[in-house]
């Protein structure tokens, strides 16, 4: 590609594929609107060339907010006793998945806290029933589970798995995830890759103690995984967590991460996350113009939606799924983009299947 004018030497090196951590960290820094504009323009161009103008919509079913973990930043953490908990029954989950398919979404994402109440066979049955009744891809986002569970679900027809790293810095990971192991997280990601899932991951931007260099290394981590899909959201402090008083992550930094992810992983999907839309009313549109090509409309039944409170003041908690569909379509059309059809497999993964 020919770089847009006003590209900095660091951006030139990124575009040439010959960059280092310092280049990425420099491009993530505040204070240079022209440099940002060139970065976003370059990412937008690479996005158009590699994954096109259409935006993939993934219907998200948040089916349980029970979680056995205590991630320091998350409102679903087991220690947050103020949260009213819910679990959807398998029939309800299948119904919500089929509703997503009926709305035209090519992918159904089934997400929960780490909730051992759902045995592996139960999840496999849900996946099988959705796949048998609708022409959709199924993505699972259920956290760390034994390799046998991942294998069973893959056999049942699950196509993709989302397992966010949140930070690739070992020390910061350990601080934020009591009782969890960074190495085990890596092992889970490795198992998913070996089982030939399309693997999604992501990073929380603006975590307390996180530096620009750490974020630059997160980008390298995602590139080297390699991630088929990447979600990047700002850290938003939740009042029911130990990080309630911490400063929130900043939207411009997230957008720079979105743009650099697109440049480092041109054939992967990059999400315009709901968290970005919660931090800035136009956050998702800005991300779509900085390299993103996926949105995740919520199809969780309204009765449960507000209770899936990973972070506070989440948007889209009071709308019916049909309303979300219309809202997303209008936002996408306002940018001159179209809604994608089909399952929306990641081009990077499709290429890997051919070799
Ligand atoms: S981030 Fe995930 S695993 Fe951690 S507490 Fe929240 S829902 Fe549970």
Given this model, what pLDDT does residue 37 score? Answer: 98
CA of 174 to the centre of ligand 1 (A): 14
Give the start-to-end residue ranges of the domains of the chain. Answer: 54-354
Confidence band of 5 (pLDDT split at 50, 70, 90):
low
Is residue 284 lining ligand 1, measured as CB closer than 6 Å?
no
How many CA atoms lie within 13 Å of 27's alpha carbon, on the beta-carbon side?
33
Q: Which of 67, 145, 175 for mutating ligand 1's site (highest number of atoms within 8 Å of CB)?
A: 67
Ligand 1 atom nearest to CA at 113: 7
Long-range Cβ contact pairs of 146-150 (< 8 A, separation 24 or more): 146/120, 147/191, 147/195, 148/120, 149/120, 149/123, 150/188, 150/191, 150/192, 150/195, 150/197
The larger pLDDT score, comparing residue 217 to residue 5, is at: 217
Alpha-carbon separation of residue 11 from 28, 45, 50 (angstroms):
11, 14, 18
CA of 121 to the centre of ligand 1 (A): 22
Given the structure tokens 């994954």, which residue do they identify? 51
Question: What are the structure tokens assigned to 247, written together?
Answer: 């400063």
- For ligand 1, atom 4, the nearest C-alpha belongs to 71
Q: According to the 3-state scheme, what is the secondary structure of 88-149?
A: CCHHHHHHHHHHHHHCCCCEEEEEECCCCCCCHHHHHHHHHHHHHHCCCEEEEECCCCCHHH
CA of 73 to the centre of ligand 1 (A): 8
Given this model, what pLDDT does residue 355 score? Answer: 65
Ligand 1 atom nearest to CA at 77: 5
Is residue 164 lining ligand 1, measured as CB closer than 6 Å?
no
Ligand 1 atom nearest to CA at 75: 6
Given this model, what pLDDT does residue 352 score? Answer: 86
Query: Would you call 285 helix, strand, or coil by DSSP?
Result: helix
Evaluate the omega torsion of the peptide bond into residue 143 and state whether it is cis, within 30 degrees of 0. Answer: no
Is residue 115 lining ligand 1, measured as CB closer than 6 Å?
no
Given this model, what pLDDT does residue 111 score? Answer: 98
Rounded to 5°, the CA angle 82-84-89 comes to 155
Could you say which of 3.40.50.12280, 2.40.30.30, 3.20.20.70, 3.40.190.10 is the CATH number of the domain covering 54-354? 3.20.20.70
CA of 71 to the centre of ligand 1 (A): 6
Rounded to 5°, the CA angle 144-191-129 comes to 70
Query: Would you call 265 helix, strand, or coil by DSSP?
Result: coil
The b/e string for 86-113 (b: 16+ C-beta within 10 A; e otherwise) is bbbeeeebbbbbbbbbebebbbbbbbbb
Instruction: Read off the pLDDT of residues 212-270 as tens digits, 9 standing for 90 and up.
Output: 999 999 999 999 999 999 999 999 999 999 999 999 999 999 999 999 999 999 999 99
Mean pLDDT of 276-292: 96
Assess whether pLDDT exceeds 80 at residue 63.
yes
Contact (CB, 8 A) for 232 and 205: yes
Is residue 66 lining ligand 1, measured as CB closer than 6 Å?
no
Is residue 71 lining ligand 1, measured as CB closer than 6 Å?
yes
Instruction: Read off the pLDDT of residues 77-120 as tens digits, 9 standing for 90 and up.
Output: 999 999 999 999 999 999 999 999 999 999 999 999 999 999 99
Q: What is the pTM of this model?
A: 0.96
Q: Cα(11)–Cα(38) distance, rounded to whole angstroms?
A: 8
Contact (CB, 8 A) for 295 and 330: no
Confidence band of 2 (pLDDT split at 50, 70, 90):
very low
CA of 125 to the centre of ligand 1 (A): 24
CA of 13 to the centre of ligand 1 (A): 37
Q: Which of 76, 203, 204 for mutating ligand 1's site (highest number of atoms within 8 Å of CB)?
A: 76
User: What is the Cα Rg of the chain in Å?
Assistant: 19
Confidence band of 137 (pLDDT split at 50, 70, 90):
very high
Given the structure tokens 């390799």, which residue do they identify? 147
Please, which residues have CB within 8 angstroms of residue 301's CB and are 6 or more apart in sequence?
A: 88, 92, 96
Q: Cα(19)–Cα(260) distance, rounded to whole angstroms?
A: 12
Given the structure tokens 């948007």, which residue do they identify? 315
């Amino acid at each position: 590609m020919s770089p847009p004018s006003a590209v900095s030497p660091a951006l030139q090196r990124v575009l040439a594929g010959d960059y280092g951590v310092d280049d990425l960290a420099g491009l993530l820094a505040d204070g240079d609107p022209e440099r940002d504009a060139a970065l976003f323009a370059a990412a937008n161009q690479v996005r158009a060339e590699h994954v096109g103008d259409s935006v993939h919509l993934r219907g998200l079913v948040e089916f349980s907010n029970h979680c056995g973990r205590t991630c320091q930043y998350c409102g679903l953490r087991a220690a947050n006793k103020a949260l009213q908990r819910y679990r959807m029954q398998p029939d309800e989950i299948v119904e919500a998945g089929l509703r997503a398919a009926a709305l035209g979404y090519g992918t159904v994402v089934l997400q929960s806290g780490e909730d051992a109440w759902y045995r592996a066979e139960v999840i496999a049955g849900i996946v099988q029933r959705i796949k048998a009744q609708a022409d959709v891809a199924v993505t699972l986002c259920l956290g760390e589970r034994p390799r046998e569970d991942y294998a069973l679900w893959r056999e049942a027809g699950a196509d993709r798995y989302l397992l966010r790293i949140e930070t690739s810095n070992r020390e910061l990971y350990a601080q934020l995830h009591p009782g969890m192991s960074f190495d085990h997280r890596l092992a889970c990601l490795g198992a998913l890759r070996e089982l030939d899932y399309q693997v999604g991951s992501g990073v929380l931007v603006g975590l307390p103690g996180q530096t620009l260099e750490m974020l630059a290394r997160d980008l390298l981590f995602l590139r080297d995984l390699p991630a088929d899909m990447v979600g990047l959201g700002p850290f938003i402090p939740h009042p029911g967590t130990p990080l309630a008083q911490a400063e929130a992550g900043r939207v411009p930094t997230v957008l720079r991460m979105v743009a650099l992810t697109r440049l480092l992983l041109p054939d992967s999907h990059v999400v315009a996350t709901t968290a970005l839309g919660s931090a800035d009313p136009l956050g998702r549109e800005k991300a779509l113009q900085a390299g993103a090509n996926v949105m995740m409309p919520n199809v969780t039944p309204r009765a449960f939606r507000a209770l899936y409170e990973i972070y506070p003041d989440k948007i889209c908690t009071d709308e019916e799924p049909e309303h979300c569909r219309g809202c997303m379509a209008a936002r996408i059309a306002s940018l001159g983009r179209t809604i994608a059809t089909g399952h929306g497999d990641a081009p990077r993964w499709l290429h890997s299947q051919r070799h």
